[in-house]
Amino acid sequence: MPASPLSLAVIGGGQLARMMQQAAIGLGVHIRLLAEGPDVSAAQVIPDHFVGDYTNIDDLRRAVEGSSVVTCDHEHVPPEHLRTLEAEGHIPRPGPGALIHAQDKITLRTELDELGVPSPRWVVAASVDDVVAFGLPCVLKTPRGGYDGKGVWIVRSEADAAEALGADAVLVEELVDFRRELSAQVARRPSGETVTYPVVESRQENGVCKEVIAPAPELAAALADQAQQIAIDVAEALDVTGMLAVELFETNDGRLLVNEFAMRPHNTGHWSIDGAVTSQFENHLRGVLDLPLGPSTPTARWSVMYNVLGGAIDDLESQVGVVLAAVPEAHIHLYGKSVKAGRKVGH
């Protein structure tokens, strides 16, 4: 089948792919999905899906048949497989050379130092002695595969350090005394055009994003400009295409330090579906398909995004009417996921 300019392969069937489909419907983009199971969030709404394993190159090859451009719902596709697809004539966006910085936190820290982008002090530790020499308290992280705070340890003692090292958390970072966490997003297309989104504040609970306020309240204009410029500089230096989110700490003494990147739509940009002229999902599709980007201008003075995390209530649908009665201007997005404690099931 010849590749249509408006067809796109998406690897991974989570809520981000599901929300990409919402944008794809309007643009007339055909998405072919590689889903982890027949009932995962995005497979419920994308008819052209097949079930496979994103770590298996043959499954990936089947997923990209008929699409030249390939994008991902998550960061876990092996970089060597993306390079194989590239060698076979497909176009992963973002490319594997960029995506590695969202996959591997040591590669990320090394690159940020080379680019002169401010980030927490760090080392790689081989032993408890190395961690102690760095200085306690500190933060230990697994370089790959972590999400929602899994793979992050706050280390205050030698025993904590031994436990974290035992779980392969070898990246040591200073424990940043931050005032709050911010996120700066930019959309970029291969031709170089970029559009930045307003810098937002994200509030976490137990390492999981709970609430996002757009724009970040009372953020000094100079810091907002600096955060957006960091996002543009990184997107250009690494040749990121589609959406890039830069997660930042605003320190108590008024500095910005980069925590990490996501090279896809991000939880801190969900507000843009209902609160901006062009959502992050639409600009991700426009970016990876090299279509002109849309403005990120907010449509309201403030937008607040609140994650629905699995908890006391199993039957979310029974609450839809209750929430809409209480807050008629709220927009509900449920992900079609089974409810488990702490799992993101909607926003």
Q: How far is the CB of 132 from ligand ADP (least distance, A)?
A: 17
d(CA 273, CA 298): 10
Binding mask 235-264 for ligand ADP (x = CB under 6 A): ------------x-----------xx----
Exposure of 246 in the CB half-sphere (CA atoms within 13 A)? 33
d(CA 110, CA 27): 38
- For the segment 167-196, give every residue that binds ligand ADP (CB under 6 A): 173-176, 181
If you write DSSP's letter for every residue of 213-250 in order, what string do you get? EESPTT--HHHHHHHHHHHHHHHHHHT--EEEEEEEEE
The letter for the amino acid at 161 is: A
Residue from 38, 47, 207, 292 binding ligand ADP (CB under 6 A): 207
According to the binding rule CB under 6 A, does residue 152 interact with ligand ADP? yes
According to the binding rule CB under 6 A, does residue 120 interact with ligand ADP? yes
Q: Which residues pair with 244 in a beta bridge?
A: 186
Q: How far is the CB of 257 from ligand ADP (least distance, A)?
A: 8
Sign of the alpha-carbon torsion through 269, 227, 194, 299: positive
Residue from 59, 148, 233, 239 binding ligand ADP (CB under 6 A): 148
Count of residues interacting with ligand ADP (CB under 6 A): 20
How many other C-beta atoms lie within 10 A of the C-beta of residue 210?
Answer: 15
Radius of gyration of the chain (CA): 20
Binding mask 263-302 for ligand ADP (x = CB under 6 A): ----------------------------------------
- For the segment 12-71, give every residue that binds ligand ADP (CB under 6 A): none
Which residue ranges make up the site for ligand ADP (CB under 6 A)? 120, 139, 141, 146-152, 173-176, 181, 204, 207, 247, 259-260
